[in-house]
């Protein structure tokens, strides 16, 4: 993450914005104190990242006063537009990893008993699980402050302890063998996936993104889950098999690799720790010939299980070994991703006389910043699901992205209706 930011320090592709609505009698002084408690509790929230000779290091600072900017927009001519503009401005502000702070909070009052709270963190501090933990611990800290209770104790281990442990483990024989397995699986990949872009790739990507989305209804979602159970697979594997089929048809290529995020919290001590733990695994499949979808799903399942076995191998090391000097954003290992999440993080929470409602879906494409050419983000909503195709606006027009999403949904419907149907090369 540090290397990616260093390549484009003025961009905001790795800013993670969180937005929630707070309804009720909010005590701003208590909220500010709660955030001070959070920053004091977690070293990662007061960490900056310097470098010596091109090598990064972490620097943990003494707990500062967590500054929560507060603005009253009740008299704004168009409150909704003003809130949207302020939130977009916050999300777009770049970070200086060496200077910090890398965590910003803005509170906007929109009515007498309604506030919008914006939190923006650099991705180097957080991942999807950490953002959920941060909101949950804010609720706890606010409630403690409101009731005159002491702040929660700091965790036994901090993120810096994890970093030391991870670095020590990378030098052992098991880690080296895991890296060799990953490289063997991914060696000989094509130079790139030839996606149907509307424009050539610019020399310096801007990170501008867009997203198109659709809902998967209860009947189709039920059939997807039923097929996953029959084939001892998961929902992710079915969605991935369809995505790889789409990419094959769109590119005319049979060798397709898609990356999947992995939580990276295999040790129990990491479950409640804030920080950036997530890793990425790459799933490569051979779609040559005319395999039936059920057969392809079996291959996807096997390749996913292989990749998950090596989930602790740092993706940066795998990418470095496999890319071999090729342009980073052009290599197929880094072009496409599939994200799958449960909806729990998007539900309202009631506490201390307040109701907190997230203002965006719990997917990792918040702000539609483009970290890949194409990212398929799916959210399990219980009886239904939501899919969004996040695209690199440097390459694709909205209409092209919408066309790809429409084709994905059509494939999903037809292949679930007849899982033994051949996938075929289709059309570009």
What's the 3-state SS for 324-376?
CCCCHHHCHHHCEEEEEEEHHHHCCEEECCEEEEECCCCCCCHHHCCCCCEEE
Query: Residue 392 and residue 200: Cα distance in Å, rounded?
Result: 12
Answer whether 2-154 and 188-344+363-417 agree in fold: yes
**CATH class for the domain made up of 188-344+363-417:** alpha beta
Between 250 and 325, the higher pLDDT residue: 250
Counting every residue written for the chain, the total comes to: 428
Express as a percent the part of the chain with pLDDT over 70: 89
Residue 367, both tokens:
């702000």
321 pLDDT above the threshold of 80: yes
Residue 183, both tokens:
């490289």
Q: How far is CA 400 from the centre of its chain?
A: 23
Is 419 strand, coil or helix? coil
> Residues 393, 365: contact at Cβ < 8 Å?
no
Mean per-residue pLDDT over the chain, rounded: 88
Question: How many other CB atoms are there within 10 angstroms of residue 367's CB atom?
Answer: 21
Q: Beta partners for 103?
A: 121
Query: Residue 353 and residue 227: Cα distance in Å, rounded?
Result: 44
Query: Residue 259 and residue 319: Cα distance in Å, rounded?
Result: 11
Helix (H), strand (E), coil (C) string for 167-221: HHHCCCHHHHHHHHHHHHHHCCCCCCCCCCCCCCCCCCCCCCEEEEEEEECHHHH
Cα angle vertex 416, ends 413, 418, to 5°?
110
Query: Residue 21 and residue 348: Cα distance in Å, rounded?
Result: 9
CA atoms within 13 A on the CB side of 335: 23
Query: Residue 25 and residue 23: Cα distance in Å, rounded?
Result: 7
φ, ψ of residue 376 to 5 degrees: the values are -95, 115
Query: Residue 292 and residue 419: Cα distance in Å, rounded?
Result: 7
Between 330 and 113, the higher pLDDT residue: 113
362 pLDDT above the threshold of 50: no
Between 268 and 170, the higher pLDDT residue: 268
In this predicted model, what pLDDT tens digit does every residue of 180-236 receive, in sequence order?
Answer: 999 999 999 898 899 999 999 998 888 788 999 999 999 999 999 999 999 999 999
What pLDDT is stored for residue 252 in this prediction?
Answer: 94
pTM of the model: 0.83
> Residues 49, 2: contact at Cβ < 8 Å?
yes
Among 88-92, 165-169, 323-327, 404-408, the range of highest mean pLDDT = 404-408
> Residues 87, 19: contact at Cβ < 8 Å?
yes
Q: How confident is the model at residue 380 (pLDDT cuts 50, 70, 90)?
A: very high
In the chain, where are the structural domains located?
2-154, 188-344+363-417
Residue 276, both tokens:
């950036």
Q: Does domain 2-154 have CATH number 3.30.559.10?
A: yes
In this predicted model, what pLDDT tens digit does every residue of 76-118 receive, in sequence order?
Answer: 989 999 999 998 888 888 888 888 888 899 999 999 999 999 9
Which residues, including other chains, have CB under 8 Å from residue 346's CB and lie 6 or more apart?
Answer: 358, 360, 361, 362, 379
């Amino acid at each position: 993450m540090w290397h990616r930011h260093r390549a484009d320090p003025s961009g905001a592709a790795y800013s993670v914005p969180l937005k929630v609505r707070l309804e009720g009698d909010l005590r701003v002084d208590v909220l500010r104190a709660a955030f001070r408690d959070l920053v004091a509790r977690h070293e990662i929230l007061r960490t900056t990242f310097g470098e010596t000779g091109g090598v990064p290091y972490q620097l943990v600072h003494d707990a500062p006063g967590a500054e929560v900017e507060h603005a009253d927009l009740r008299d704004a001519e168009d409150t909704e537009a003003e809130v949207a503009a302020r939130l977009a401005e916050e999300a777009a502000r770049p970070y200086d990893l060496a200077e910090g702070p890398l965590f910003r909070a803005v509170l906007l009052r929109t009515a007498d008993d309604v506030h919008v709270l914006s939190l923006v963190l650099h991705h180097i501090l957080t991942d999807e699980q950490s953002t959920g933990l941060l909101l949950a611990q804010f609720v706890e800290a606010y409630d403690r402050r409101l009731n005159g209770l002491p702040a929660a104790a700091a965790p036994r281990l901090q993120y810096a302890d994890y970093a030391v442990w991870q670095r020590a483990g990378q030098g052992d024989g098991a880690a080296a063998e895991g890296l060799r397995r990953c490289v063997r699986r991914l060696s000989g990949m094509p130079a790139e996936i030839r996606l149907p872009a509307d424009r050539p790739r610019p020399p310096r990507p801007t990170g501008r993104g867009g997203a198109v989305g659709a809902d998967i209804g209860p009947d189709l979602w039920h059939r997807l889950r039923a097929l996953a159970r029959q084939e001892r697979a998961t929902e992710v594997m079915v969605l991935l098999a369809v995505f790889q089929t789409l990419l094959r048809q769109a590119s005319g290529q049979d060798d397709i690799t898609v990356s999947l995020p992995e939580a990276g919290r295999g040790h129990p001590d990491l479950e409640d720790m804030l920080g950036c733990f997530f890793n990425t695994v790459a799933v490569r499949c051979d779609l040559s010939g005319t395999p039936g979808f059920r057969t392809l799903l079996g291959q996807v399942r096997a390749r996913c299980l292989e990749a998950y076995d090596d989930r602790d191998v740092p993706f940066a090391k795998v990418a470095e070994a496999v890319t071999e000097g090729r342009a980073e954003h052009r290599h197929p290992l880094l072009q496409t991703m599939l994200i799958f999440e449960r909806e729990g993080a998007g539900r309202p929470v009631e506490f201390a006389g307040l109701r907190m409602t997230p203002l965006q879906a719990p997917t990792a494409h918040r702000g539609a910043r483009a970290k890949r050419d194409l990212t398929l983000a799916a959210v399990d909503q219980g009886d239904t699901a939501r899919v969004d195709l996040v695209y690199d606006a440097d390459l694709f027009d909205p209409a092209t992205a919408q066309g790809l999403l429409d084709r994905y949904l059509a494939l999903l419907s037809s292949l679930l209706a007849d899982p033994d149907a051949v996938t075929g090369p289709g059309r570009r």
